Amino acid sequence: MAKISLIVNGNPVTGKVEPRTLLVQFLREHLRLTGTHVGCDTSQCGACVVHLDGKAVKSCTTLAVMADGHEVKTIEGLAADGAPLHPMQEAFREHHGLQCGFCTPGMIMTAVDLVHRKGHDLSDEVIREELEGNLCRCTGYQNIVLSIAAGAKAMAKSDLA
């Protein structure tokens, strides 16, 4: 067993894990943060995306021991203290960027990372290209793209830019 210490959603966390434990397993099974989903276990669907030190990573192919000493943010920790939803979450709700919701946490975490990397004025083409590696089996992506564009603009107006 390996002892790990990390910051998850702003809170210090410690735990003992087998060295082969995936970050998604640690988050879901040890910390009960079940918003991060397991979809494919092969890094293809993006349902497991979290932020590791501010960058989007697929937690189904990241070992928990790799997060030792680092900061992890999950969908549960995305909204600012006291706010019900992050602007990107609100944009997904307002623009119907979800149906079954399984892919939504990963899509939102990827979208927030996209805005941090590429800015707030995103073309449909850039959004679609950046969503490669995030699969949705329900929506056809049009409302996801609209949601991300709206969320990017909303983030520009908030302190979460």
The CA-atom distances, in angstroms, between 73 and each of 36, 62, 70, 126, 137 are 10, 14, 10, 24, 25
pLDDT for 139 beyond 60:
yes
Top pLDDT among 135 and 42 is at 135
**pLDDT given at position 160:** 61
Looking at the structure, tell me whether residues 90 and 28 fall in a common domain: no
pLDDT for 82 beyond 70:
yes
* pLDDT tens track for 118-138: 999 999 999 999 999 999 988
Looking at the structure, tell me whether residues 65 and 2 fall in a common domain: yes
**pLDDT given at position 44:** 86
Cα 152 to Cα 104: distance, rounded to the nearest angstrom:
16
Lookup: tokens for 97: 């960027």
Looking at the structure, tell me whether residues 64 and 32 fall in a common domain: yes
The CA-atom distances, in angstroms, between 80 and each of 11, 73, 108, 161 are 14, 12, 15, 12
pLDDT for 55 beyond 60:
yes
- What pTM value is reported for the model? 0.94
pLDDT for 40 beyond 90:
no
Q: What is the mean pLDDT of residues 76-82?
A: 88
Q: Which of 75, 100, 129 is the last residue of a domain?
A: 75
CA angle at 35 for the pair 46 and 135, rounded to the nearest 5°: 20
Q: For the chain, give the percent of residues with pLDDT over 90.
A: 83
pLDDT for 63 beyond 60:
yes
Which range of residues forms the domain containing residue 27? Answer: 1-75
Which H helix or E strand runs over 116?
helix 104-118
> CATH no. for residue 111?
1.10.150.120
Partners of residue 4 on adjacent β-strands: 15
Lookup: tokens for 96: 């119907």
Overall domain count for the chain: 2
Q: Does the residue 80 lie in any domain? A: no
Instruction: List the one residue out of 63, 50, 78 whose CA is nearest residue 21.
Output: 63
Looking at the structure, tell me whether residues 103 and 49 fall in a common domain: no
